[in-house]
Amino acid sequence: MADDKAHFSSRISAVLVQKIKERAKQDNTSITAIVEDAFKQYFKDDLPGLCPYCHTQNNPEAQFCQKCGRALTEEAQMSVTQAEQFIKKSAVYQEVLDTIREELGLEKKDKQSE
Ligand SMILES: [Zn+2]
């Protein structure tokens, strides 16, 4: 088995191996974690529940990522978008936004420009 592993990594270009090593050091993570992430990216369409943002493997039926909270399905994304649109249309949202802008000393944004 050890021979197989050596054989496998020797087939990957030295430049790529170097890149992976550098990135592992830079991100303070393991080479295995990077390679695993890469495979997850490659197979993401065959891995339901896999978060495309943080690469957490969630329950295959999950609608939202348990780690970063982002939507995992088109359906979930649509409900988020609808909720956002609903909130942005509400008067309270504009009021809160204006208050925050005032507090931060920012100019009120023209409602028409949004
Ligand atoms: Zn996530």
| Calpha distance 15→38 (Å, rounded) | 16
pLDDT of residue 21: 93
Question: Residue 107 burial by CB count (10 A; 0-12/13-18/19+): exposed, middle or buried?
Answer: exposed
Query: pTM value?
Result: 0.52
Instruction: Give Cα 69 to chain centroid, integer Å.
Output: 9
List the domain boundaries for the chain: 73-114
pLDDT of residue 41: 82
- Around ion ligand 1, residues with a beta carbon closer than 5 Å are 51, 53-54, 56, 65, 67-68
The CA 54 to ligand 1 mean position distance, Å, reads 4
| Calpha distance 65→108 (Å, rounded) | 34
The CA 51 to ligand 1 mean position distance, Å, reads 5
- The per-residue DSSP string of 40-71 comes to HHHTGGGSTTB-TTT--B--TT-SB-TTT--B
Cβ atoms of 91 and 74 closer than 8 Å: no
Q: What is the mean pLDDT of each run of 10 residues along the chain (114 residues)?
A: 60 88 94 87 83 88 96 93 91 90 80 50
CA 29, 33, 39, 45 dihedral sign is negative
